[in-house]
Amino acid sequence: MTRKLFGTDGVRGRANSYPMTAEMALRLGAAAGRYFRRDGSRAHRVVIGKDTRLSGYMIENALTAGFTSTGMNVLLLGPVPTPAVGLLTPSMRADVGVMISASHNPAEDNGIKFFGPDGYKLSDEAEAEIEALVLGEFQPAQAANIGRAKRIDDGRFRYVERVKSSFPQGRTLDGLKVVIDCANGAAYRAAPEVLWELGADVVALGVSPDGANINAGVGSTAPAAAMARLKDVGADVAICLDGDADRVILIDETGTVADGDQIMALFAARWAEEGRLKGHALATTVMSNLGLERYLAARGVGLHRTSVGDRYVVEAMRAHGLNLGGEQSGHIVMTDYATTGDGLIAGLQFLAEMVRTGHPASRLARNFETVPQLLRNVRFGAGTAPLDLPTVQAAIAAGEAKLAGQGRLLIRKSGTEPLIRVMAEAEDEGLMRAVVDEIVGAVEAAL
């Protein structure tokens, strides 16, 4: 069964435009309610969290109407990070969890992500079944069986305590000055609270959401603001989250950015030395740098590559019995602590290494030399399929031929935005840039 509504990370789009309309959110809520109430033998509940986008109010209310129409009780968490929904879904004995967020996308976008009763994101098969129910006829509950909805005031505090418990016992962040950039998003309260309660000197950035400024010039996709603040205040490290706080990048004391590949390299090597890297391997996507693969191989650590999307990383982790995985973009999944990517927990684990070793961030965040890699995005309009056109296919084939034996090429349609992503990797930077330019030019000409 194929999916049309769902992409690599739930349903996503421009707010108040298909599919991110109030009507579709209501239908998704009703469909998911029917899907998770199939046994009909007991009371059912759903937890719903959101980030700080203005459209979150509209989508939250529509989802609530959809779920309650099927007899499900709704627990509203308010603004919390995506990993908090993954945590609280099983903790609160819910049948399904929902996060309303478009992650790192601009404020005009929004999305709906579903978690199963175990706190993990739904499989492709489950999403396809829900999508089929969206297109079918509704079967509302009887009037006496309509669900209830209520606000949960302590969801953020439960999450904060769980995050703090991931930090090594007996250690503190005393003496460390940490810039935390919350992207004006879901972690704008939780992240500074965690760091302060563990003893850090906290310099907070991106903590004044107004519904329209999420990810706007701040956060993991715009590290320049945190970099400037780090230099101004002389901080030891900066932690940059995205809008829903499920991804992270780090900036060391010299102002150098460390992406998810460098963070995973540190954790994998350390955990392997300590004998706690399950499966003696990690899972990451086809986007991760070849330098990471070489670094791990030199230490006898395996690597399982997956399709792009943290959900596919987690599926590979569960299939191979791993406890560490992630994406170059900063989704770091540590199933010892969370069911999905958690930028704050990943940041804390890095800080724990700084405390344990006494090393500066720059020494811990530069673990391997990256192979030159170039990624360019081409935005396209609705209804176009530029990758299928003969001229684009010819350019891709020519690029693959030029890189044969010298690098690799990855062309894909984004699952979260209307973008064609063109990525090449090669030791010869001139060749790499030429190949990418030719393919991007072919795509733009086709559009």
Number of Cβ within 10 Å of residue 389's Cβ equals 16
Question: What is the mean predicted confidence (pLDDT) over 340-350?
Answer: 98
Q: What is the CATH number of domain 11-154?
A: 3.40.120.10
Using CB atoms within 10 A of its CB, is residue 81 exposed (0-12), middle (13-18) or buried (19+)?
A: buried
103 catalytically annotated? yes
Task: With a cut of 80, say whether residue 38 has pLDDT above it.
Answer: no
Instruction: Quickly state the pLDDT bin for 208 (edges 50, 70, 90).
Output: very high
pLDDT in tens, 379-427: 887 666 678 788 989 989 998 899 888 888 988 887 777 788 899 999 9
Of 19-28, 346-355, 388-397, the poorest mean pLDDT is in 388-397
Percent of the chain scoring above 70 in pLDDT: 97
The single-letter code of the amino acid at 328 is Q
| pLDDT confidence of residue 380 | 80
Q: Are 140 and 50 contacting, i.e. CB atoms less than 8 angstroms apart?
A: no
Average pLDDT across the chain, whole number: 93
Annotated catalytic residue: which of 69, 103, 288, 329? 103
The single-letter code of the amino acid at 12 is R
What is the CATH architecture of 373-446? Answer: 2-Layer Sandwich (3.30)
Full-model pTM: 0.90
Q: Are 310 and 104 contacting, i.e. CB atoms less than 8 angstroms apart?
A: no
Question: What is the mean predicted confidence (pLDDT) over 168-196?
Answer: 98
Of 72-76, 209-213, 313-317, 441-445, the poorest mean pLDDT is in 441-445
| pLDDT confidence of residue 77 | 98
Q: Which CATH superfamily is domain 260-364 in?
A: Alpha-D-Glucose-1,6-Bisphosphate, subunit A, domain 3 (3.40.120.10)
**Which residue do the tokens 């998770």 mark?**
36
| pLDDT confidence of residue 170 | 94
| pLDDT confidence of residue 414 | 79
Residues of the chain with CATH 3.30.310.50: 373-446
Instruction: Quickly state the pLDDT bin for 41 (edges 50, 70, 90).
Output: low
Question: What is the mean predicted confidence (pLDDT) over 255-282?
Answer: 97
Question: What kind of fold does domain 176-245 have according to CATH?
Answer: Alpha-D-Glucose-1,6-Bisphosphate; Chain A, domain 3 (3.40.120)
Spacing of C-alpha 378 from chain mean position: 21
Q: Are 218 and 247 contacting, i.e. CB atoms less than 8 angstroms apart?
A: no
pLDDT in tens, 310-344: 999 999 999 999 999 999 999 999 999 999 999 99
pLDDT in tens, 99-144: 999 999 999 999 999 999 999 999 999 999 999 999 888 788 899 9
Task: With a cut of 90, say whether residue 445 has pLDDT above it.
Answer: no
d(CA 166, CA 302): 25
At 45, which helix (H) or strand (E)? strand 45-50
Residues of the chain with CATH 3.40.120.10: 11-154, 176-245, 260-364
Question: What is the mean predicted confidence (pLDDT) over 364-376?
Answer: 93
**Which residue do the tokens 């309509």 mark?**
146
